[in-house]
Structure 1
């Protein structure tokens, strides 16, 4: 709940008018996103490239399935990262561990050997990202513990700008280094980026002023013993089951992706059931959590469409788009970078707009607009695919238009999602609920990876149009229930003062 405070004390050093600790988190997240999005911009191309050219030689539908599994795993493990921060390590130490593991994963992928090192690298990056992502976002929220809702939204929007600055740089550098089949050099650049982010985090830890230093609800010694026992048995059973599946000869990447999609759908259902039954949640928190369920589902649909950028849209750029721009042939991964660039340029404007409007532009309304807008982007994509189906490569302007439209939808929904998760999180499960927010991305990405298999029998224009109509319909339903959701969230109209930047 907001306390009414609207800015830092007079004379305190700030970062774009926000707490100084935001600069540390901004920089760390920027370099982590450099490594993440840079590698992601070439992953599907690497997986589908012939072995003779240094790739993995996978079919496109399988490669997209692997991409969906990898992205979903990153966000699925965020729930684990949030729990570890809440109960064992605290957010600050969990972020540090995550950054180290991510760097190790990129180093593994940079090894000049395919196969096992690639899969190991993807596993390590997913695990480290799960530890880092929810807790970085939760640390941002800790900086605004005594601030009003609109100021927190504005801070998250500035933080989001750092995410996209890192993404922009990563997508520019890594695909360029990959040109000519230099895959492992590109993966090495991602490792360097994470190393810089790690150094930034360690150097600026004092600016966090104790945020996330200790877990909010540390396990008792008895609970820790029980956790170690359950974790050990669970890991052993999972490893044994996977080994037996592999020995049976029926384990394939496609089947593993399908199983993970089912797990990804089951986990949030089970976790929401656990939260609603927990005695550590107050009646007021439970009411807000009920509203959050609907925001979670809306976000999953949004990410199902939006995160096709690294799979379906990347392959469309490679096969069906004229990439000659002013006589220069650009890498396919560069096309999507217009999204990051647009966010860097307009995120401050959106931050000021939301700050001035206060809760007159409510969180459910932002979600509704975001869904409709991302749906409209795929209406445009459906038209582009229809033109390309005639065997003609389309102008790059079609994809640029799609990404620009999606940018608007993203700026409405994603920063608001981070902020409302921090606001509605039960105190006993604060970092875990931030992990649950990222689980909405896991659900959307894993379902999206499976949905792409429909392209074996469904024309691409129809595929894009079906996803577009699903997102627009979800947005319109959300619009109908805006007022009811605001009541559940205890959102009230007020316009906070706008702090002067410094």
Structure 2
């Protein structure tokens, strides 16, 4: 909960800080560049879950990956809290992304292991796991709900770095909870793994170095040959890396010796789940970037004569999650074998996201005349989006743990987060269209794209179920 407090607290004010004028304490970036950096930051957070998952699987174990990830995150938030210029900002974002990449896959895997004793391939076992992840989703939403209210007020009303400092305090509390509560976890979760040979460790370090070199060389080429700014070069290079990594990663997994026919079929099914999830996150993650900037510029935020901070809208998602998570968990258990399949839940989620984005298109069209629109547009849009997310995200986390071959448990969970990385990276490219289209047109196109994708998943659900080989 406290790790989510720090993460979402910083995230709520990030794009606003980047786009704020320098005389107001911000970095003074243009809105579309600020939104693109927000997307790249989200991509790095989830892209770095790949080496983070490997560390947990082969070297540290889940608990130590979570603990040391928290230490790095704390260092990143402290750097963001220092008002010493853009260099500290980018360093802090990199540290937070690195630490979160170490922490995120192991947290979700630890939740999945709580249900390993029920992994008897029965429908009830799968339903309880889905319900467990829904409750896990609700728990982290508590911290995510409170964070924007505190960091947002401090950042927008007092000083941006005061808001980042509050996020740092939240992460310190999270570390204390992790240390004191670790003894209650299953013993196998707290044990060191140490299955990586020295040659394998050198290989992983080489891969990471190659990824850094790829970004550096591509960025340098774009800057020197095409005349891009350094910031735009980094955005393009990280996007290219985020698209390349899953392609290479899936090929490598398929070529691994020892995978039987069932595992290979399930991995093929996971490719389609991965692509559908990437499409979902490409649109949904813009709720913290372009939607936030739209709220700042086009929404009437006055309440009883007082204008509340723009970042408070970022508490809507967690608030709705808290209200809905228990209901969704109860619904899946009550329905049992009658609940929708994984593919059907994904189709519902994408369809709901399309509807939410079309609501934002309506808000954009209503604001086309220059008047600020009612806050109700965003209240309803976020509600519909979170209902869609509750269908897709917990289901995606759950099906990942059930489709994963045992030796790739943490790493396949990393691939789930890599779908968020790809979506975030693609959003850094898509947001550039905001400089060409009006907000109404922009959101309308995204909403229609989500509906088309939902229809494609719905039509293909029977084939996907066959590939999943008994995993529903």
Q: TM (normalized to structure 2)?
A: 0.94
Contact 1:74/1:129 (CA < 8 Å) preserved in 2?
A: yes
Using the TM superposition, give the Cα deviation of residue 273 of structure 1 relative to its aligned residue in structure 2, in angstroms: 1.0
Using the TM superposition, give the Cα deviation of residue 325 of structure 1 relative to its aligned residue in structure 2, in angstroms: 1.7
Verify: 1:111 aligned to 2:63, yes or no.
no
Using the TM superposition, give the Cα deviation of residue 445 of structure 1 relative to its aligned residue in structure 2, in angstroms: 1.0
Verify: 1:370 aligned to 2:346, yes or no.
no
Contact 2:215/2:237 (CA < 8 Å) preserved in 1?
A: no
Note closer, same or farther for the CA distance 1:178–1:123 as it changes in structure 2 (3 Å cut).
Answer: same
Note closer, same or farther for the CA distance 1:351–1:61 as it changes in structure 2 (3 Å cut).
Answer: same
Note closer, same or farther for the CA distance 1:218–1:385 as it changes in structure 2 (3 Å cut).
Answer: same
**Superposed structure 1 runs of 4+ greater than 2 Å apart:** 211-217, 220-228, 230-251, 490-493
Given candidates 294, 303, 327, the residue that maps to 2:305 is 327
Alignment deviations for residues 396-432 of structure 1 (CA, whole Å, 9 cap, x no partner): 0001110000011010000001100111111111101
Verify: 1:169 aligned to 2:140, yes or no.
no
Using the TM superposition, give the Cα deviation of residue 232 of structure 1 relative to its aligned residue in structure 2, in angstroms: 7.9
Verify: 1:415 aligned to 2:430, yes or no.
no
Q: Which has the higher helix share?
A: 2
Using the TM superposition, give the Cα deviation of residue 214 of structure 1 relative to its aligned residue in structure 2, in angstroms: 4.2
Note closer, same or farther for the CA distance 1:348–1:231 as it changes in structure 2 (3 Å cut).
Answer: same
Verify: 1:346 aligned to 2:324, yes or no.
yes
Aligned-partner Cα distance in 1 for 2:214–2:469: 42
Aligned-partner Cα distance in 2 for 1:416–1:405: 17
Verify: 1:481 aligned to 2:452, yes or no.
no
Contact 1:81/1:134 (CA < 8 Å) preserved in 2?
A: yes
Note closer, same or farther for the CA distance 1:364–1:217 as it changes in structure 2 (3 Å cut).
Answer: farther
For structure 1, the 5+ residue unaligned runs are 1-29, 494-502
Aligned-partner Cα distance in 1 for 2:174–2:202: 34
Verify: 1:153 aligned to 2:127, yes or no.
no
Given candidates 73, 96, 101, the residue that maps to 1:102 is 73
Query: How many aligned positions are there?
Result: 463
Using the TM superposition, give the Cα deviation of residue 487 of structure 1 relative to its aligned residue in structure 2, in angstroms: 2.3
Query: Aligned-pair RMSD on alpha carbons?
Result: 2.0
For structure 2, the 5+ residue unaligned runs are 119-124
Contact 2:46/2:420 (CA < 8 Å) preserved in 1?
A: yes
Q: Secondary structure at the match of 1:391?
A: coil
Using the TM superposition, give the Cα deviation of residue 290 of structure 1 relative to its aligned residue in structure 2, in angstroms: 1.0
Verify: 1:83 aligned to 2:54, yes or no.
yes
Contact 2:215/2:234 (CA < 8 Å) preserved in 1?
A: no
Using the TM superposition, give the Cα deviation of residue 306 of structure 1 relative to its aligned residue in structure 2, in angstroms: 0.9
Contact 2:402/2:471 (CA < 8 Å) preserved in 1?
A: no
Q: TM (normalized to structure 1)?
A: 0.88
Q: Secondary structure at the match of 1:98?
A: helix
Aligned-partner Cα distance in 2 for 1:135–1:422: 12
Contact 2:403/2:471 (CA < 8 Å) preserved in 1?
A: no
Alignment deviations for residues 41-61 of structure 1 (CA, whole Å, 9 cap, x no partner): 111111111112211111111
Aligned-partner Cα distance in 1 for 2:251–2:151: 42
